[in-house]
Structure 1
Amino acid sequence: MGGFLEMSKLKISLSALLMLILLSMFGAFASAAEVTLPPNTGTVDNFGNTNTHKTHGNFQNNTNACANCHSTHNGENEMLVMKSSEYELCMSCHDGTMGFYDVTKASEAGVIGSHEMSASMHSVDSDLAVSAAPGALVNKSTATFECSSCHNPHGSANDRLLNEKVAGKQYGSNYNVTIVGYAETITKLNPVPIGTKAIKLNLVEDPAYADINNATDLSGLKIYKSSGIYNKPADGLTQSQVYDYKLNYSEFCASCHDDYLKNRENGPRADGVHYTHTTNSTKQGRSCTACHYAHGTDITLLKDTAGKTIADLQKTVAEGGKGWTEAQAKAYMKDVSKNGSSALKRFTNMAVCWTCHQSTHAIANTPGTSTYPGPLVPGGDYSGKNIIK
């Protein structure tokens, strides 16, 4: 019993020490243009240089990263993790407490957690089964849906630690894409080998962490922001690679939502009853993330057809807003769809449809013409389509 108490004290002491170390690191990063590592926050790397260790993957041969999440003798479950649940463990950093990436704040992935009004999240803190995913007619996985259902905490080839297998299936492939006019023919070729990037996101250095990104003694550590998947060749990518990454993103989602992946225009679902949008297409607006956020959404993230958020609507008219109060903006943006669920949508209500199907914006024809659209809804510039991936 005494030994157990001593180990418990040691566990608490190590956790407290780790917290102090990380807080001191953040203090140094925030206050110094030229980052200087505080005592005991670094380690000597494999090249003999003083550096920091990585929490997820790319571990040094003398790594101490295991202790961030695991307790050798006092783990809370069979994986020896230091929290009672996977969600609690991940959120001990990624709620903004210690991790650079705060999943409770708006990003290209959306938001996750508990939020106000029109909130819709992937429920990683429940006992939801993977097989309960909407559109999961073929997927019979009995696993519980958690953070690790999509992410690998020990690292992967992907920029955001995305798993290379989801629900037991390897989703990444290479494709041959032929486009003639509006017609698109897609042929799946070889699977992407495990350890090879199947999805590449368009990442840029986060200016909020400029000190870290400009430091020369942090093992090349960079803190990035993502603007989603690539739509055009850039940074040495070929058009074929862009097609592969985009198609694989939908394959990634379809590992759970397997019946929503379609390989033909307006094709019927596997049950032969319903019709759905084609999602395995290289065209703008056809990937899953064109309409949905991966983590989820709430009233602060939702947009209208003009691409405006509640924050935009509160700006003055001179600034491109409407000068509304916060209450007005929220009442306007509130999702009133069936069951009150925003279904992880980027756009509120059915504005997600109108954003792409802009031919319906012409509510009258200009006098003297037969085809030119007439006046649009006042205040709408319908720029939302420009942010569709």
Structure 2
Amino acid sequence: MSKIKLSFSFLLSLLLVGMFSAVAFAAGSNPVVTPPGDPVDVKAGLVTDDKGKDNNYNTVDKSNANKTGSGVGGQTENFSNVIKSDDMVKNPDGTHGTQRTHGSYMNNTNSCASCHQTHTGASKNLLFKDGEYATCTACHDGTLGFYNVFTGSNSAGTFGGTHDGNMSVHLANGTVETKAAPGGNQNGTGNWEAEFTCASCHAPHGSYSDRLLHPDPNGMGNILVKDGGKRLENVPVVTDISAKVAAADVTYKDATGADVTINYVLYRSTIGTTVPAAYSAKGLITGDTVLQLMKWNGTAYVNDTDPWLHGYDFDAAHVKHYWTAFKDNTGKEVFDTDQLKKGEILGNGFAGVPASKATLVATVNSIVSGNVARGYVVKLDVSAPDANNVTTTTASSLWASKLANGSANPGYLANRGVAMSTFCSACHTDYLAGSGKETGTFDHAYRHTTTSDSYTCVRCHYAHGTDVTVMRDARGLTYDQIKADTTNYFPTVTDPTAREAVVKDYLLDKNPSSALKRYTNMAVCWGCHTSSHSEGTRNTDTYQYNPTPGVDTDRNGIEFDY
């Protein structure tokens, strides 16, 4: 089990103990007592040094001329020392700036050196730390001004915490496989044997989503829709979308055994004098040819904007087959999404070919069907980046169209919450469901609704983890807020130390698990169901509700505007 050796802070050693205590719940396996790492490195509960765990650069052991790793892992607070992309020419006028570490790389980038060493990496993929988890947390532990994954946030929760605070976290250090996911499929399609790490959910080299959420979690972007993924197969190419194309119907059995029909076409057209914004943003102009994926919405075809994945596999004869590829009338793959090879322009849900590429245009005009692997996209309500490129997230925009005071939530957009639940269900496959009937991709049971913006995975759960310092009660109040509210919570307990203890006890989960709950105990239910249609749980005189305006004006409990 000692695959990853972490020893760069006492916090991480505590984290690993807690994470391993949680894996028994998450994976249904026996608890692992010994965390990864070498016990001889731990003295009196403190980690002494991490030099043996990576290929860091210092004045004694000059293992890397590019100084990868200098200034990370808690060794300095100097943000600018980290080798990433500072002082690089980035603008047409020759001015300098800072390039991005994760994605959007420029042609003169030096950002690769932030994480990789060309010849002396400490682990596979030439990472300068021993493993993906150690590499990511070397910067994302709060020492460099980046997002601190060990400090609670409204959007993701925390990887930190303590045993006595009921710590519960995603076990993302590579010691379990993806198939450990509750609600997942241990033997079915998908990349279930892969180690679960930070990169299982986040794409370090760039993403279509906010927070670098992975476009292909668990490999489900290239799994057929009927098996719970997003891949479409043998989609017909058409030049007329004035009416529904019956030949494009794909029928499969849903989780309840009922027939579900979806209808996708690949619309081939030549851009007219009015160039749609999505096409012009990619440099396409009048006269260029476009292949657009479209879905029948019941009355008309509308653009499907899921980005196309352009990975590939090899068959037994070592012939390369792209996940997204298009065939002529003989069944031969004649057009694919290898941009460097073919020169087409990819956008969200379409491929465009400039009119100047006459041979390629002729090839596109010959295709009759295609397979399309599609990526996952999740957009959050985020603020503008600050000086350290850090933004804040309003998590409630994923499920609340209105704030607690009744006004519109400015960050809410329809279907953002569903997109988040769909992302989570790439691993927690059976948990994307509606209530009131037996549902599930691989096994059937009655489940809570997660397929609407009102009820999403992140309304009840954090992504990283939780403990009493970030959990909430049914009114949506946190540890710090309750401590400060001496009028409504424990008014007779005024001593700061005693007050911290009583508030902690109030928020302590009495049934600790690895559920990553956003609300403590069954407040995760009571926060929404205080006005349930069930007669037995309607509000009574004993319901803990304060009618004072500004304190709690939402009779359904949860305050959304946080």
TM class, shorter-chain normalised? 0.7 to 0.9
Cα drift, residue 112 of structure 1: 1.2
Matched ranges for 1:47-62 at <5 A: 47=92, 48-62=94-108
Conservation of the 8 A alpha-carbon contact between 1:291 and 1:388: no
Structure 2 CA distance for partners of 1:272 and 1:201, relative to 1, 3 Å: closer
Alignment-derived partner of residue 330 in structure 1: 504
Out of 88, 112, 137, the position equivalent to 1:43 is: 88
Question: Residue 262 of structure 1 corresponds to which residue in structure 2?
Answer: 433
The structure-2 alpha-carbon separation of the partners of 1:362 and 1:309, relative to structure 1 and needing over 3 Å to count, comes to: farther
The TM-score normalised by the length of structure 1 is: 0.74
Equivalent residues, number: 337
CA–CA separation in structure 1 for the residues paired with 2:86 and 2:76: 8
Residues 270-323 of structure 1: per-residue CA shift (max 9 Å, x gap): 5665311121123x2x111110011111110111112222222222434x5434
Aligned-partner residue type, residue 226 of structure 1: T
C-alpha distance in structure 2 between counterparts of 1:292 and 1:14, whole Å:
39
For residue 559 of structure 2, what is the aligned residue in structure 1? Answer: 386
Q: Is the 8 A contact 1:69 1:82 kept in 2?
A: yes
Task: Report matched runs for 1:42-121 at 5 Å.
Answer: 42-47=87-92, 48-107=94-153, 108-116=155-163, 117-121=165-169
Q: Deviations over 1:98-134 (max 9, x none)?
A: 2420011111111114534111110002411101100
Query: 1:202 — aligned with what?
Result: 381
Deviation >6 Å, runs of 4+? 185-188, 233-237, 361-365
Alpha-carbon separation, structure 2, partners of 1:43 and 1:22: 23
Moved more, 148-157 or 12-21: 12-21
Alignment partner, residue 253 of structure 1? 424
SS of the aligned residue for 2:392 comes to: strand
Q: CA 1:333–1:22 in structure 2 vs 1: closer, same or farther (change >3 Å)? A: closer
Which structure's residues are more often strand, by fraction? 2
Rate the CA distance shift 1:80–1:243 in 2: closer, same or farther, 3 A: same
> Residue type matched to 2:391 in 1?
Y
3-state SS of the aligned residue for 1:385?
coil
By how many angstroms is 1:333 displaced? Answer: 1.0
Structure 2, unpaired ranges of 5+: 1-57, 222-228, 232-259, 264-294, 296-303, 309-346, 349-375, 403-407, 494-498
The alignment's TM-score, normalised by the length of structure 2, stands at: 0.53
Provide closer, same or farther for how the CA distance between residues 342 and 310 of structure 1 changes in structure 2, counting only shifts above 3 A.
farther
1:144 has 2:195 as partner: yes
What residue is the counterpart of 1:279 in the other structure?
Answer: 450
Question: Among 464, 467, 480, which residue is 1:295 paired with?
Answer: 464
Select the residue among 498, 515, 527 that pairs with 1:355.
Answer: 527
The code of the aligned residue for 1:309 comes to: T
Aligned partner of residue 382 in structure 2, secondary structure: strand
Identity within the alignment, %? 34
Q: Secondary structure at the match of 1:168?
A: helix
Q: Which has the larger radius of gyration?
A: 2
8 Å contact from structure 1 (residues 364, 373) kept in 2: no
Partner-residue secondary structure (3-state), 1:128: strand
Distance in 2, Cα, partners of 1:288 & 1:360: 20
Corresponding residue for 2:178? Answer: 130
The whole-number CA distance in structure 1 between the counterparts of 2:193 and 2:220 is 14
8 Å CA contact 1:41–1:52 kept in 2: the answer is yes
